[in-house]
Amino acid sequence: MTATDNPLLNHAYHGGIPDFTAITADHVVPALTTLLQQARTELTQLAKLGPEELPELLDGLEVVGDGLGRAWGVVDHILAVRDSEPMRQAQEALQADVVAFSLEIGQNSDIFRTFTAASAQLETLSAADARTVTQQLLAARLAGVALTGDQKAEFLGIQQQLAELSTTFAHHVLDATKAFALDISDVAETAGWPSSLRQQTAAAWAQAHATADHNWETGPWRVTLDGACVVPVLRNSAHRPLREAVYRAYAARATSGDLDNAPILLMILHLRHRQAQLLGFADYADQSLASKMAPSAGAVVELLEQLRQSSWTAGLQDLEDLRSWARQQGAAEAEALQPWDVGYWAERLREQRYDYNDEALRPYFPLPRVLTGLFALAKDLFGIEVKACTQAVPLWHPDVQYFNITGPLGEPIGSFFLDAYSRPATKRGGAWMNECLGRSAVLGTPGQPRLPVAYLVCNGTPPVAGQPSLMTFGEVETLFHEFGHGLQHMLTRVDRGQVAGISGIEWDAVELPSQFMENWCYHAGTMARICGHWQTGEALPLDIFAKICAARTYRAGSDMLRQVGFALTDWQLHSGTPPETAEAVFDLARQVAMRTAALPPLAGDRSLCAFSHIFGGGYAAGYYSYKWAEVLSADAFGAFEEAGQDDPTAIEEVGLRFRETVLALGGSVPPMDVYVQFRGRPPTVAALLRHAGLKSGPG
């Protein structure tokens, strides 16, 4: 099979954009086998270069893994958005070889010696090249460059096992999510449902039964464990047995039978610990900090404990408020609220306190209008234009859109795919941004670097019944969040691929621009742009917007404690020697919950089996990063607040500074240095607590 025949090898197609219309599982093994052979040949030649040939080595390393990395990235992406058994099998067939090659680069002693020699002359290099050398030396250490003999072989085996286990973990979560479906035909069981949920579940029932004959008002309806269905059910269903059934099913994903992730997560923890010991670290948390912004384990724990103490009293009051409100409404469960009651009564109390219903906001947030407003904000802040591409671009699903970004003079800057809607049968839950193509001078053409392309993936409410996608306010925030990640990837000015965009950025700083963008959802000028009734164009009433802003701190203590609980569980699981049994793992999680959850989890809770962030994703011993970066993002947004958010000149000035530092410098400069360049000082936690309506104090 030639490059012309195999779309995974034909990188000239659409300027390097994958031909998703043509790629099949049959292309994976031939393409990856060819690319691995080429990469190994190129690596052999690069290893012959000495310190005086450092520029050639840096260029060569950027090139050597690009074709392989792009093709493997496409396979991962397709599995996330268009899952199929043949593609899974194709990935599994090559995974061990791809992992082995990545270690071959890091463990190459000749290349390591060249970088070690170059590290003595960093002041003679550009900032990007100096940072790349430093990062390559760290990557080599973490790849086991110092290991020999049996330890080297053991390390390779561990890496391959971890890759396989993490993939299996994620597949189990997706399969368990897909396996559940509850068909409802009794309209009494849908009491409290908003029309959007009825429409969505009626469409799901019709799709499952391959019929166009359905009525969203009379049913039947199909409830699934997709987030776009679970959340509105738990918030709005007045039928308590349904809430309980859905909650229990969601919490029990991947906890039994062939899909049980308990033994897998235990193996992952022990393999990570052994890997860390082989590399000379005390434990996996210690290893994690080697590539993080946080200076020490003490700094991580100190931040989480400060946030826990600042939130504990408020979290207890949140729960008591729900009990009191349920009691006033004569609810039998008021004295013994269960986890499946919290979302329902929290939404009812929100309605009472702030006099608006989250579901009632949906008509004001049609996705096309939200995008128009978001892109207008990006223009004001960063001087860019975002427009839908008018040329044909290969897409993996008809719902996917493709956009181009240009600068003030119309110069191309980057592009992105937007996959906005949930598809529970084939698409992974959650939301994320990932790299399709990265910016690179060496991989571009003379005088023109290769421009970045991003994947922006959400799982928002799909269009139904002839309506556009009508978003919840939470879905709007998620879109802003992922767009922030995309901006850092696409607006980079760094031409060295290894540290351009999100590459080379310490993991606990990477959430800064995403969480920063969420703050704009509470800005009146931005709100006026992103909202408008999908039928009439009517603006969201100002009093409703004021209530949304007031409600921003609603249950802020509970929300903070929830995230701190996740972070502490993750950190403790990876600190010290891992528990010996899966039950001991779950016991540890329950112990953390006793300090971070006003309402303890259910007895026998095993929801860690679906905690993909740390067992199937990149947040292991790093989930604290959300809070670490939220300190940065809140403090960064404070610069705009201080300048005056409604002063166009001030916003343009601060926005340009944010673009030229946080968004432009990528991983070419240490993140604290980048932040100080933007803010003029290190960050403080004050803005985060102020936005959440919390005060520092014991709890």
The active-site residue out of 482, 506, 511, 518 is 482
DSSP state of 358: T
CA distance 335 to 325: 11
Q: Using N-to-C axis directions, what is the helix angle for 240-251 and 227-236, rounded to 10°?
A: 140
* Three-class HEC string of 611-639: CHHHHCCCCCCCCCHHHHHHHHHHHHHHH
Q: Tokens 């690179």 correspond to what residue?
A: 440
Q: Which residues pair with 385 in a beta bridge?
A: 406
Q: Are 274 and 144 in contact (CB under 8 A)?
A: no
The distance from CA 231 to its chain's CA centroid, rounded to whole angstroms, is 18
Q: What is the 3-state secondary structure (H, E, C) of 138-171?
A: HHHHHCCCCCCHHHHHHHHHHHHHHHHHHHHHHH
Q: How far apart are CA 99 and CA 119, in angstroms?
A: 27
Residue count (the chain): 699
Contact 451, 413 (CB under 8 A): yes
What three-state secondary structure class fits 653? helix
- Torsion (CA) 114, 118, 119, 120 in degrees, nearest 10: 120
- CA quadruple 613, 615, 617, 620: dihedral positive or negative? positive
User: What is the rounded (10 degree) CA torsion for 272, 274, 280, 285?
Assistant: 30
Beta bridge partners of 414: 405
Q: Which residue has the tokens 């006026």?
A: 528
DSSP-derived 3-state class of residue 304: helix
The letter for the amino acid at 380 is: D
Residue 621 dihedral angles phi and psi, to the nearest 5°: 50, 30
How far, in whole angstroms, is CA 674 from its chain's centroid?
22
* Contact status, residue 494 vs residue 665, Cβ threshold 8 Å: yes
- Contact criterion met (CB below 8 Å) for 606 and 255: yes
Is the CB of residue 25 less than 8 Å from the CB of residue 90? yes
CB within 8 A of 512, min separation 6: which ones? 629, 632, 633, 636, 662, 671, 675
Q: Tell me whether residue 92 is one of the annotated catalytic residues.
A: no
Distance CA 434, CA 490 (A): 11
- Residue 541 burial (CB count, 10 A): 11
Q: How far apart are CA 558 and CA 179, in angstroms?
A: 31
Q: Report which secondary-structure segment, H or E, holds 239.
A: none
Cis peptide, bond prior to residue 220, ω within 30 of zero: yes
Any idea which residue has 């949930």 for tokens? Answer: 422
Alpha-helical segments (H) within 403-555: 473-490, 512-518, 524-530, 542-550
Count the Cβ atoms, other than its own, within 10 Å of residue 298: 9
Residue 248 φ/ψ, nearest 5 degrees: -65, -40
Cite the active site residues: 482
